[in-house]
Amino acid sequence: MPSFPASARSRQIAPFHVMALLARAQALEAAGHDVIHLEIGEPDFSTAAPIVAAGQAALAAGHTRYTAALGLPALRQAIAGFYGQRYGVALDPGRVVVTPGGSGALLLAASALVDPGRHWLLADPGYPCNRHFLRLVEASAQLVPVSADDNWQLTPAHVQRCWNADSVGALVASPANPTGSVLDRAALSALADAVHGRGGTLVVDEIYHGLTYGLDAPSVLEMAPDAWVLNSFSKYFGMTGWRLGWLVAPTAAIPTLEKLAQNLYISAPSMAQHAALACFGSEAMAEFERRRHEFGRRRDALLPALRAIGLVIERVPDGAFYLYCDVSAFTDDAQALCQFLLETEHVALTPGVDFGQHGAATHLRIAYTQPVQRLLQAAERIGRGLQRWQQR
């Protein structure tokens, strides 16, 4: 294949390593093998019926043109109302920017807040696209190693120790990918104070909000009204392929964000925006809650099954739909182990290398996005595969 003069930034953005595993898994399936997919961070449920119906109605009504760059006024109002109902936060809809997925929200925030050569503090392990978007705007991520002792999250102590002249803010996720950890009110408040005390901006990824088990994840807006919030219709609302998210920002930032949105993507998908209005109805909400309870049931079935075969899950995750597993008792090359388990047992998992550097070689992520019976079948296969791995 002929080469082309790829930019330095594109060369420095790493691919998802799991995508090579996914491609191999699909090839194995095409060859007739039964592959259990626990690698991709996507709910296995289809979009809820009320949303599909609203999307079909929008298409039939001809709602296929651009919307305003900041989003449909009715959807911005609905999102603001959601914060009032769920969190008790009186949010001005003028602070809500509707975006093409949570990725669009992250791109806007990075573009608006981080100059070339500056950086945000990010937890390591963490969602890889966060650091890649920073590179895209000629900024960078300062990865801060975190562990189960820190609840896999940045803390005020990390901010105090790692902040320097090039730091302009911190980005945290609660619930987090890949660990499922949740920041409670005290932790969020202390972190906001630590970042703001340095003159920085705190950005909180709340994309997995709604998917918590045994507790409710607070929004940072309850403690720090001027914080920046990323969210999405993909996870709790089950609209992954519709590509719709939102960003909450201080009022003073909205003109800048509107200008960026106009230039970067014009507007979020209009059909998806009309469909998303149905997310806040009682029928759709009841379905989302049913799915949340099912995810909780899956977590509670899979976690002890994995521990029984020797995988170490240091903290029970309170949110998202992932188990972050320490496999150091078996290997210091989790990527090779994932490849081995795929080839021998036909279970697809995500190696830790996709989430950063700290402990990456001895961790892997398992997404419990399959029915309980399939998850237990996967645990049995993984256990058998680990025995075969040790006997090589």
DSSP assignment of 271-287 equals HHHHHHGGGGSHHHHHH
**Phi, psi at 77, each rounded to 5°:** -65, -40
- The domain spanning residue 304 has which CATH number? 3.90.1150.10
Pair (176, 297) in one structural domain: no
Q: Is residue 356 included in any domain, yes or no?
A: yes
Pair (215, 347) in one structural domain: no
Last residue of a domain, one of 224, 253, 281: 281
Last residue of a domain, one of 249, 281, 313: 281
Work out the mean pLDDT of the chain and round it to a whole number: 96
Q: Is residue 51 included in any domain, yes or no?
A: no
Task: Give residue 219's Cα distance to chain centre.
Answer: 15
Pair (36, 70) in one structural domain: no
CA-closest candidate to residue 334, choices 122, 171, 178, 154? 178
For 139-194, write each residue's pLDDT tens digit. Answer: 999 999 999 999 999 999 999 999 999 999 999 999 999 999 999 999 999 999 99
pLDDT of residue 35: 97
Terminal Cα distance for the chain, rounded = 37
Boundaries of domain holding 339? 8-46+284-391
Burial of 136 (0-12, 13-18, 19+ CB in 10 A): middle
Last residue of a domain, one of 264, 281, 298: 281
CA-closest candidate to residue 364, choices 350, 354, 377? 350
Please report which confidence band the pLDDT of residue 290 belongs to, taking 50, 70 and 90 as the band edges. very high
Q: For the chain, what percent of residues have pLDDT higher than 70?
A: 99
CA-closest candidate to residue 231, choices 250, 251, 210, 245? 245
For 355-390, write each residue's pLDDT tens digit. Answer: 999 999 999 999 999 999 999 999 999 999 999 999
pTM of the model: 0.95
**The one-letter amino acid at 236:** Y
Residue 334, both tokens? 């989790």
Residue with tokens 């994932």: 338
